[in-house]
C-alpha cells in the first residue's frame, strides 16, 4: 500500500474538480497544481503535514514541503454557504443576499447575486447601479461600454485613455528612457575626460545632437566647474536645436560667471533668433543688478528685435541701490556673484543705502546699433520722441498699403 504522502497528481486533479470552490480551502502545490478541500488539522503546531477532507468524504495528506501556499476559507464564506440555500431564487431573495455579502465583504459573491437579480428583472435600477451600469439613451451600459462609445481604449495596464493619449504616454515613456540613457552616457564620458580616454570622450560629446540629451546636459552644466567642459556642453545644447536647449543658453548668456561661456551662448542665440530669448532679455533690463541690465542689453543688440527699442530707451538710465559709507563717500567698489548678482560694499561702520541713477553704456550702444544712424546718447526724452516718430511713420505706411 502506498503511503498517503505519495498521492499522485492525477488524484489531486480529481479532488480539485470535485470540490465546491465556494467552501474549500485552497492548497497551492510546489509543482504548479492545487487542491481544494477542508483542512482537518488546523491546530497542528509545528506543522508537518496538511490533512485535507474533500467534498466527497475522502481524505488526502500532504507533506508541508509539498505545499507552496495555503489559503484558508474565511469564516464569513463558511457562514455564507450555510445561509445561501435559505434565500429563494427571486429578485428580492438575491438582492437581500447581495446586501448581506456587501456587509461581510464577500464582493465576488455579491456580484453573482446582483447579476442574478438583473437576469430576473433587467430594469432593476438599484442592482444595475451597484454593478456599475448607467442608463444612456434608454439603454443600460457599463462604464466600460460608455468609455468605448466615447472612443476610449485600455492601455497595457487596463487604464482608459483616448488613443492619442496612449500614443502620447508611449512617446513620453520612450523619451524618459532615452533621457535616462543620456544621463549615463554623459556621466561616463565626463569621467573619461580625466584619463587617457579624454580624446574619445571629447569626440563623443562633440557629436551630440539628440534633443533627448538636453536634460542630461543641463544637469551636467549645473555640476560642472571646468570652463572647457562647460563649453563642450553648451555647444552640444546648441546642436540639439531643442526649445529647452535655447532656454538654457539664454539663461547662461546672462548668468554664467565666465565671459567666454556667455559670449558663446550669445553667438548661438544670434544665429537662431527666438522670441523667447528676446523676452528674457527685455525682462532683464529691469534687473536690480546693473551688470545684468547691461548683459541683457548686449543680448538684445545681438538679437536686433525691434520690440526691444522702447524697453531699451526706458533702461538708458536705471536706478540702483548703493551702500554708502559717510567716511569714504564716493569710493564705491562692486563684486558680483556667480549668478551675475552684485553688491556694493565699503569699509567702516555707519553705512547707509542710497538709490542712484546709472547711465548704461551697453544699453545706449544697443539702441544706436538698432536705430539706423540715430544717436541721442543718454537723452531719454529725445529717444522717446524719435521712437514716437518711428511708430507714426510705420502706421502711416500701413495705412498706405491698405489703401
User: What percent of the chain is modeled with pLDDT above 70?
Assistant: 86
Cα 165 to Cα 136, 153, 154, 179, 265: the distances in Å are: 25, 10, 11, 21, 36
- Does the residue 379 lie in any domain? yes
pLDDT at residue 333 in the model: 47
- Does the residue 28 lie in any domain? yes
Q: Please say if the pLDDT value at position 190 is more than 80.
A: yes
Q: Please say if the pLDDT value at position 5 is more than 90.
A: no
Q: Do 218 and 95 lie in a common domain? A: no
Domain termination site, one of 73, 92, 117: 73
pTM score > 0.85 for this model? no
Domain termination site, one of 89, 120, 150: 150
pLDDT at residue 402 in the model: 55
CATH number reported for the structural domain that contains residue 139 in this entry: 1.25.40.10
Q: Do 198 and 60 lie in a common domain? A: no
**Residue numbers of the domain that contains 382:** 169-309+362-402
| C-alpha 359, offset from chain centre | 45
Q: What total of structural domains would you count in the chain?
A: 3
- Does the residue 47 lie in any domain? yes
Confidence of residue 328 (pLDDT cuts 50, 70, 90): low
Average pLDDT over residues 37-61: 86
Q: Do 57 and 102 lie in a common domain? A: no
Contact between 316 and 378 under an 8 Å Cβ cutoff? The reply is yes
- Does the residue 181 lie in any domain? yes
pLDDT at residue 82 in the model: 87
Domain termination site, one of 52, 73, 94: 73
Q: What is the CA radius of gyration of the chain?
A: 39
- CA–CA separation, 260 vs 263, rounded Å? 5
- Does the residue 345 lie in any domain? no
Q: Do 188 and 139 lie in a common domain? A: no
Nearest to 359 by CA among 299, 315, 297, 322: 315
CA pseudo-torsion sign 231, 232, 235, 237: negative
Q: Do 90 and 24 lie in a common domain? A: no
pLDDT at residue 220 in the model: 96
Q: Do 43 and 62 lie in a common domain? A: yes
Nearest to 50 by CA among 81, 24, 18, 75: 24
Q: Do 25 and 89 lie in a common domain? A: no
pLDDT at residue 31 in the model: 87
Q: Do 371 and 233 lie in a common domain? A: yes
Which tens digits make up the pLDDT trace of 84-140? 999 999 999 999 999 999 999 999 999 999 999 999 999 999 999 999 898 888 889
pLDDT at residue 361 in the model: 96
Q: Do 285 and 388 lie in a common domain? A: yes
pLDDT at residue 72 in the model: 81
CATH number reported for the structural domain that contains residue 24 in this entry: 2.30.30.100
| C-alpha 1, offset from chain centre | 66
Q: Do 175 and 244 lie in a common domain? A: yes
Q: Please say if the pLDDT value at position 2 is more than 50.
A: no
pLDDT at residue 97 in the model: 95
- Does the residue 316 lie in any domain? no
Mean pLDDT of the chain: 85
Q: Do 256 and 381 lie in a common domain? A: yes
The set of cell numbers assigned to 1 is 500500500
The set of cell numbers assigned to 5 is 504522502
- Does the residue 343 lie in any domain? no
- Does the residue 382 lie in any domain? yes
Q: Please say if the pLDDT value at position 296 is more than 90.
A: yes
- CA–CA separation, 70 vs 231, rounded Å? 63
The set of cell numbers assigned to 176 is 524618459
Q: Do 304 and 398 lie in a common domain? A: yes
Amino acid at each position: 500500500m502506498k503511503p498517503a504522502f505519495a498521492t499522485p497528481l492525477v488524484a489531486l486533479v480529481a479532488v480539485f474538480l470535485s470540490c465546491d470552490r465556494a467552501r474549500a480551502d485552497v492548497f497551492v502545490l510546489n509543482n504548479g497544481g492545487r487542491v481544494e478541500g477542508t483542512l482537518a488539522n488546523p491546530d497542528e503546531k509545528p506543522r508537518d503535514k496538511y490533512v485535507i477532507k474533500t467534498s466527497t468524504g475522502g481524505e488526502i495528506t500532504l507533506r508541508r514541503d509539498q505545499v507552496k501556499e495555503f489559503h484558508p476559507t474565511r469564516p464569513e464564506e463558511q457562514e455564507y454557504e450555510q445561509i445561501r440555500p435559505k434565500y429563494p431564487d427571486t429578485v428580492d431573495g438575491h438582492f437581500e443576499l447581495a446586501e448581506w455579502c456587501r456587509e461581510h465583504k464577500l464582493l465576488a459573491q455579491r456580484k453573482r447575486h446582483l447579476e442574478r437579480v438583473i437576469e430576473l428583472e433587467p430594469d432593476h435600477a438599484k442592482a444595475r447601479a451597484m454593478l456599475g451600469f448607467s442608463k444612456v439613451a434608454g439603454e443600460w451600459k457599463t462604464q466600460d461600454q460608455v468609455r468605448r462609445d466615447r472612443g476610449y481604449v485600455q492601455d497595457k495596464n487596463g487604464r482608459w485613455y483616448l488613443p492619442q493619449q496612449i500614443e502620447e504616454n508611449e512617446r513620453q515613456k520612450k523619451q524618459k528612457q532615452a533621457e535616462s540613457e543620456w544621463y549615463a552616457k554623459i556621466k561616463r564620458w565626463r569621467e573619461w575626460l580625466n584619463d587617457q580616454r579624454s580624446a574619445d570622450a571629447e569626440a563623443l560629446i562633440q557629436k551630440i545632437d539628440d534633443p533627448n540629451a538636453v536634460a542630461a546636459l543641463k544637469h551636467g552644466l549645473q555640476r560642472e566647474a571646468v570652463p572647457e567642459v562647460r563649453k563642450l556642453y553648451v555647444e552640444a545644447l546648441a546642436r540639439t536645436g531643442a526649445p529647452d536647449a535655447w532656454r538654457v543658453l539664454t539663461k547662461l548668456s546672462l548668468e554664467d560667471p565666465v565671459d567666454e561661456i556667455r559670449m558663446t551662448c550669445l553667438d548661438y542665440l544670434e544665429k537662431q533668433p527666438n522670441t523667447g530669448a528676446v523676452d528674457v532679455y527685455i525682462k532683464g533690463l529691469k534687473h536690480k543688478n546693473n551688470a545684468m541690465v547691461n548683459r541683457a542689453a548686449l543680448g538684445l543688440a545681438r538679437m536686433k528685435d525691434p520690440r526691444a527699442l522702447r524697453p531699451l530707451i526706458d533702461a538708458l538710465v536705471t536706478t540702483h541701490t548703493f551702500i554708502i559709507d559717510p567716511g569714504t563717500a564716493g569710493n564705491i567698489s562692486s563684486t558680483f556673484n556667480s549668478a551675475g548678482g552684485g553688491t556694493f560694499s565699503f569699509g567702516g561702520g555707519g553705512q547707509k543705502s542710497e538709490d542712484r541713477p546709472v547711465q548704461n553704456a551697453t544699453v545706449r550702444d544697443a539702441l544706436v546699433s538698432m536705430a539706423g544712424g540715430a544717436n541721442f546718447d543718454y537723452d531719454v526724452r529725445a529717444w522717446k520722441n524719435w521712437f514716437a516718430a518711428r511708430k507714426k511713420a510705420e502706421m502711416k505706411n500701413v495705412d498706405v498699403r491698405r489703401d
